[in-house]
Amino acid sequence: MSSKYEKMWDQLGMDIPAHDGLLKALGNFYGDIYLSQEGRLKGAEYLDFVLSEVHGLRIQELVEAKERGSKVIGTFCVFVPEEIIWAANGICVGLCAGAEIGQEEAERVLPRSTCALIKSFMGFKLARICPFFESCDLVVGETTCDGKKKAFEILDEHTPVYVMEIPQMKEGRDRELWREEMVRFMKCVQGLTGLTISAKKLSEAIRMINDRRRVLLRLNRLRKAVPTPISGRDALLVNQISFYDDPPRFIQKIGELCDELEARVDKGEGVVPEGTPRLMVSGCPMAVPNWKLPFVIESSGAVMVGEESCIGTRNTRDLVREDGRTVEEMLDHLVDRYMKIDCACFTPNNERLEHVVQMARDLEVDGVIHYALQFCHPYGIESFRLERTLKEAGIPVLKIETDYSNEDAEILKNRVEAFVEMIR
Ligand code: BJ8
């Protein structure tokens, strides 16, 4: 891939040798974790294709769209209302932040005791290694956790950053604040793209992003089947890809993949033998290419059947109402939908506890693994109440705290194996 796209990467200002090293490592990693799986679906060819062209074809599409006047806006959080971006003829991309990249550069400006996700996005930018980042006309940050909030001040010195204020509670006044923030964001996006958002465009964007959520909901429903028809790794990858592939293409391809899964379910076929312990992961998002824990789980005799996370059900569970007629009405509907997000940055956040128990029951899981990134206070601290709630509901739980390095892979494997043995 490198020769074909090298000129484009160079024009984006990337560090080509470092980027070549990343692609090589990513290719090997992907081969070990994904291509080694047996009995994969035909639809997984789309996943392999998107991954193999992740820094090539998709970036070329972004560059061409920019040449036609579109703007690329990068985000780090599912709180950013992407419908507004698409409605203004922008392109929204989730900036991944799931690998230990540019660690040295990141630790020059951030304390070592910063969560891996924040270090990762800072590292990607400072090391000039991510073509998505380098294609962005604007990066949107948010005030979800203290680490991100303060890191965006530093990131702003390297790329234009706009920060949305996210409420910390869910009272009436918080809703008001969030509505104001939506309007402020809409003005910012309109200023960038030079387009005024019409009711028609916003309505189309709402439907498109809802359709993307719907296809992911369909995938989640199919994963309820026993035996499960798709590996947790592949399902996670589908969710990860949803953040940066073209939405209409993604909806079509994942729809086809779901058709295939449906046929498997009808025949009673699965990727693992019946009786394989079913686990669900709950907690911090697993941004691409963070596949460490899913791989550990699925090489320890269990299968991952759900992710209660922003790269999972937290991002797909709720749809935006589609019956708004004016921009004002649609903004209200967007506010309603986004205020349902149960990120640990909220206090109190009892909905999340209820959602996790509900999801564990719906998916008939044998246990929940709570996953928190080291130094993530919101999820790390919330795990105490979540663990207690799950235990009270009679659902076994294992709490894991880790980062993006592979140093603890063996320890994690031992702990997950012991957990699987215990619930078996
Ligand atoms: S809505 S989960 S995507 S903030 S892991 S950076 S919280 S210290 S990622 Fe998130 Fe939005 Fe919430 Fe979802 Fe901070 Fe924790 Fe790091 Fe985190």
Average pLDDT (229-255) is 97
pLDDT digits (tens, 9 = 90+) for 350-368: 999 999 999 999 999 999 9
Which residues does ligand 1 sit against, CB inside 6 Å? 77-79, 115, 117-118, 144-145, 147-148, 284-285, 310, 341, 343, 345, 373, 376, 378-379
Single out the residue of 354, 352, 357, 356 nearest to residue 341, CA to CA: 352
DSSP state, 277? P
Sheet strands side by side (includes 71-75): 90-94, 71-75, 138-142, 161-164
pLDDT band of 38, cuts 50, 70, 90: confident
Q: pTM score, two decimals?
A: 0.96
Average pLDDT (89-107) is 94
Q: Which residues contact 142 (CB under 8 A, 6 or more apart)?
A: 76, 77, 79, 80, 148, 149, 163, 164, 165, 166
Ligand 1 atom closest to residue 373's alpha carbon, by position in its atom list: 5
Residue written as token pair 């009673």: 268
Question: How far is Cα 368 from Cα 261, in angstroms, rounded to an integer?
Answer: 24
pLDDT digits (tens, 9 = 90+) for 391-410: 999 999 999 999 999 999 99
Ligand 1 geometric centre to CA of 147 (Å): 9
Q: Is the pLDDT of residue 2 over 80?
A: no
Here the tokens at position 35 are: 């291509």
The predicted pLDDT at position 3 comes to 64
The predicted pLDDT at position 96 comes to 80
Single out the residue of 83, 141, 109 nearest to residue 338, CA to CA: 83
Select from 92, 112, 281, 343 the residue to mutate for testing ligand 1; criterion: most ligand atoms less than 8 Å from CB: 343
Average pLDDT (277-281) is 98
pLDDT > 90: what percent of the chain? 96
CB atoms inside a 10 Å sphere around CB 111: 10
Single out the residue of 299, 208, 210, 218 nearest to residue 247, CA to CA: 208
Partners of residue 400 on adjacent β-strands: 371
Ligand 1 atom closest to residue 345's alpha carbon, by position in its atom list: 12
Ligand 1 geometric centre to CA of 11 (Å): 32
Q: Is the pLDDT of residue 19 over 90?
A: yes
Q: Is the pLDDT of residue 238 over 60?
A: yes
8 Å CB contact between 347 and 319:
no
110 Rama class: left (phi>0) / alpha (psi -120 to 50) / beta:
beta
Sign of the Cα torsion 342, 346, 350, 353 reads positive
The predicted pLDDT at position 40 comes to 87
Question: How far is Cα 258 from Cα 254, in angstroms, rounded to an integer?
Answer: 6
Question: How far is Cα 45 from Cα 223, in angstroms, rounded to an integer?
Answer: 19
Q: Which residues contact 397 (CB under 8 A, 6 or more apart)?
A: 367, 368, 369, 370, 386, 387, 390, 391
Here the tokens at position 73 are: 């806006």
Nearest CA to ligand 1 atom 1: 343
Sheet strands side by side (includes 397-402): 303-308, 278-283, 367-373, 397-402
Q: Which residues contact 185 (CB under 8 A, 6 or more apart)?
A: 80, 81, 84, 140, 162, 164
Question: How far is Cα 93 from Cα 54, in angstroms, rounded to an integer?
Answer: 12
Here the tokens at position 104 are: 């040295």
8 Å CB contact between 55 and 245:
no
- 81 upstream amide cis, omega within 30 of 0: no
Strands 161-164 and 138-142: parallel
93 Rama class: left (phi>0) / alpha (psi -120 to 50) / beta:
beta
Ligand 1 geometric centre to CA of 121 (Å): 12
Average pLDDT (88-108) is 94
The mean pLDDT of the chain is 96
